[in-house]
Amino acid sequence: MSATKAVKPVGTIKQIATGAKARAIAASEPVAPKKKPGKTKKPLAPERVAAILDALCKAYPNAVCALTHRSAWELTVATILSAQCTDVRVNLVTPSLFKTFPTPKAMAAASLPEIEELIRTTGFFRNKAKSIQGAAKCVVEDYGNKVPQTMEELLKLPGVARKTANVVLGSWFKIADGVVVDTHVLRISKRLELTENTTPEKVERDLIKVIPQDHWIDYSHEIIFHGRQLCVARKPRCVDCSLETLCNSSDKTWTSH
Is the torsion defined by CA of 71, 216, 208, 40 positive or negative? Answer: positive
Q: Is 138 annotated as a binding residue?
A: no
Q: Which helix (H) or strand (E) holds 66?
A: none
* Catalytic machinery residues: 163, 182
- Nearest Cα neighbor of 73 from 120, 132, 115, 113 is 132
Q: Is 85 annotated as a binding residue?
A: no
Q: Count the neighbouring beta carbons within 10 Å of the beta carbon of residue 236.
A: 23
As a whole number of angstroms, the distance between CA 184 and CA 63 comes to: 14
* Residue 246 DSSP label: G
Long-range contacts of 230-233 (CB under 8 A, 24+ apart): 231/184, 231/187, 231/188, 231/191, 233/183, 233/187
CA 5, 6, 9 angle in degrees (round to 5)? 130
Q: Is 238 annotated as a binding residue?
A: yes
Contact (Cβ atoms closer than 8 angstroms) between residue 138 and residue 153 = no
Alpha carbon distance, N-terminus to C-terminus of the chain: 27
Which residues participate in the annotated binding site for [4Fe-4S] cluster?
231, 238, 241, 247
Which residues participate in the annotated binding site?
231, 238, 241, 247
